[in-house]
Structures are given as C-alpha cells and as structure tokens.
Amino acid sequence: MYKKFLLVITSFALLTILFAACTIRDESTISSGPQVRMGASTFIDTTITIKKGESITLVDTSPATHIITNGTWDGSTQKAAKEAGAPTVNLTFAGSDSKSAGPFTTAGTFKLYCTIHQGMNLTVTVQ
C-alpha cells in the first residue's frame, strides 16, 4: 500500500518539475532597459537619462488610468508640445500595466506629461 502511495507521490512530483521546466514565457512582455514608474497621480521617477536610440518603459504601479503624451503641466495649465527630435508619445494606461515610449533617437531634453493628473510631468534626457 505504501509503495503505491510513494510511487504516486513521486510521479506527481516528477510531472510537476517537468511542467515547471517547460514553461513558455513571452519575451516581448518582459521589459528590458530603462524604466519609469508611475503612481496613482504622479511619476515616481520624475526624470530619466537614457542613451540615444533607447526607448523607455513606463510602468503603471497603481490601478489608476493615465494618458501620457508630449508636453508638460505649467502650474494648472496643460501645455501640449512636441520638441524637435522627440518621438510622438500618446499612451493610455488602464492601470497596473506597462508600455514603451520611443525610441528617442535625438540627443536632448524632452517632456512628457499625464493629461489626467495635474502636475504629473516627466523629463527624459537623451545623451
């Protein structure tokens, strides 16, 4: 009786290890490179410096919705603007997700902001 039980448990353990070892991961969803984290109504990281040609991954760490685009908040006024050489950014986050912006192919300083949350500005410096 115990031999059969031991055989079943051992077989189950081996199958579990086999399936765990054969896990397929979608590499396109694994972020690599520079990241900027966003909270409920702010950029947790308000500035980032990257190399020319890199993209940034914006990571929404909260369930809050964000719409990130080119420009900045000036006090309580939205100032949509795209600096020369900046990639066009228009990303909508549903909460607790991440998306890529870029690539930034021109050296300079570029501004991004959330159109929903006043004062939520990001400065991207490209070297």
Within a domain: 16: no
The pLDDT assigned to 97 comes to: 97
pLDDT in tens, 20-50: 555 444 444 445 689 999 999 999 999 999 9
- Nearest-5° Cα angle at 58, 55 to 60: 170
SS3 (DSSP) at 82: coil
- Can you give the residue range of the structural domain that contains 77? 33-126
- Total number of domains in the chain: 1
DSSP element (H, E) containing 17: helix 2-21
**CATH number of 80's domain:** 2.60.40.420
The pLDDT assigned to 24 comes to: 47
Within a domain: 95: yes
Within a domain: 93: yes
Look up residue 124 and give its two tokens: 């991207």
Within a domain: 109: yes
Within a domain: 28: no
Say what the pTM is: 0.75
Within a domain: 1: no
Within a domain: 92: yes
The pLDDT assigned to 9 comes to: 72
